A and B are shown apart, each in its own frame.
Chain A
Amino acid sequence: MTALPAKTDMKLGLVIDLDTCVGCHGCVTACKGWNTQNYGAPLSDQDAYGADPSGTFLNRVFSYEAQQEGCASQTVHMPRSCLHCEDAPCVTVCPTGASYKREEDGIVLVDEDRCIGCGLCAWSCPYGARELDREAGIMKKCTLCVDRIYNENLPEEDRVPACVRTCPSGARHFGDLGDPESDVSKLVADRGGFDLMPDLGTKPVNKYLPPRPKDQLDTTPLNTVADEPKGFLGWLDKALDKL
């Protein structure tokens, strides 16, 4: 059934530090690599080397600029993937029961043997976290690397999602956000972690840590020093005008 569980034992999720992320897209590549070679249908590309390339990704990094009036702008890199919402609309809209949320750890997954590829779950997701794979005709989404985190064949340090394992700046953290004593929960509490679009009522598990306040240099933008050419340049300007 695609009913949501009343409560989950854990709330596994990611905490993404927007202060630390440098926008290298390493997490995007690691995610695509792991999820193409492991659980479920591979993440296909279409016309990969042609004029109109496209492909399926479970995680993408967007870069934004924020600017206060009269101040220097600030660049913020924002990786986006499934937020494993507690009140996930993508689960309840699914007609087949393919989309489900696990009671044990809260991970939202797609049962690829039931998915009909209707796309309604992607329509219901405010975050653009689901992409229909054009090759398989199946909805793909972040699995929180469910085939890594419990995988005892991997060394212990590798039992985290591929994006977290690969992040060179330490901007991605993985853990149980349902346990107030967990490292990720403490991090969220310390840094004022926030939800994306909370007014839509999805109750995301993943949290974002806001960029730390930046100091502002006491400078003004450079003034133009030569609006009106003088001297030799002035003469040249007039001479060229007359030509």
Chain B
Amino acid sequence: MHPAPSVIIFTTFSGLGFGLLAWMGLGIPDVGGMTLFAFFVIAYVLAAGGLLASTFHLGNKKNAIYAFSQWRTSWLSREGVAAVATLLLFGLVALARIFLGAEMAFSGAIGSVFALITVFTTSMIYTQLKTISRWNQPLTPILFLLHAIGGGALLAGEAKIAGVLLAALAVVMWLHWQQGDARAAKRGTLGDATGLGHLGEVRMFESGHTARNYVLDEMVYRVGRKHAQKLRLIALGLAAVLPAAILLLTPAGHVTAFIALALHIAGAIIGRWLFFAEAEHVVGLYYGK
């Protein structure tokens, strides 16, 4: 799949933002006043900024308002609704906490649930696609959720919790690749796709078009597959293993937390790029790719 920068930015940063909100709803970190204000600003910039980035790849932005209408069937629509609901709810929580000093424990907890639901709906946009068997597996939502709450805990300054969650993330990233490889290997052949397998071995004689087209550009992106193994190790190390080791093995402090965060974000972006770039769409079979 074509790794559109807007979608990578969107899923990585809005995931982090909603992950941070999920912790803040529970009163973590336990701060008030201007510090709390600063935390809310960071969370909103990440969450809302990511959402805005996701609109950059839309071909026809003027109709965007309709995207909130199909929540009964569409995970993308549900995601939009959940994201806006979460941001509105946390707006109230933030105002009450910062300016009135109220605790807002119940509303905050509801907000946390909404933040996690938002991340889950984001993951389901990809998980639901039967055409991309690498994504169509139960670990995909877990991968997204662990990215969000692990990165969120790191942002919230909960070093030890973040360390444990990122260690769990390392395991899930690895399992997701193993499962993904197994599923992708079962994608089938050109003979299966064309239904001509009974005639013998099927091979491409002439493509339907000599030039590139939308389907090839968008869904038969193969650059990512060449260095996939190396990139997986880099993403795994940066996003999960190294930050987890730093957080769990060194005394908590701003410097170590900052280093862990920088590594995690770099790794998460590489991992997300690879998530798209190495995913094989079944339509590639018709092109013999």
Contacts and interface: CB of A to CB of B under 8 A. Distances in A.
Interface in A64-114: 64-69, 71, 73-76, 78, 80, 89, 91-98, 113-114
B203 A65 contact: yes
A208 B194 CA distance: 10
Which size class do B's interface residues fall under?
A: 35 or more
A24 interface: no
A139 B131 CA distance: 18
B70 A66 contact: no
A18 B200 CA distance: 15
B193 A53 contact: no
A118 interface: yes
B200 A62 contact: no
A210 B283 CA distance: 20
A54 B208 CA distance: 12
B72 A68 contact: no
Interface in A199-233: 200-201, 208, 210-211
A97 B131 contact: no
Contacts of A65: 202-205
Contacts of B69: 95-97
B63 A115 contact: yes
Nearest to B201: A67
Contacts of B68: 95
A68 B199 contact: yes
A174 interface: no
Contacts of B191: 66
A127 B284 CA distance: 9
Contacts of B132: 123
A124 B199 contact: no
| Most B C-beta atoms less than 10 A away, residue of A18, A28, A65, A113 | A65
Contact of A131 (B70, B196, B205, B213): B213
B58 interface: yes
A134 B194 CA distance: 28
Contact of B60 (A60, A97, A136, A200): A136
B273 to A, nearest CB: 17
B214 to A, nearest CB: 4
A62 B286 contact: yes
A123 B282 CA distance: 10
Given A53-B211, A132-B59, A2 B286 contact: no
Q: Which 5 pairs across A and B sit closest by C-beta, in order of nearness?
A: A117-B59, A137-B59, A60-B208, A66-B199, A96-B66
Given A96-B63, A115-B60, A118-B76, 16 more contacts: A54-B214, A62-B286, A92-B73, A96-B66, A96-B67, A97-B70, A98-B66, A116-B61, A120-B125, A124-B131, A127-B283, A131-B215, A136-B60, A137-B60, A197-B192, A210-B196
10 contacts: A3-B72, A63-B206, A92-B74, A96-B66, A114-B66, A122-B219, A123-B132, A123-B281, A197-B193, A210-B198
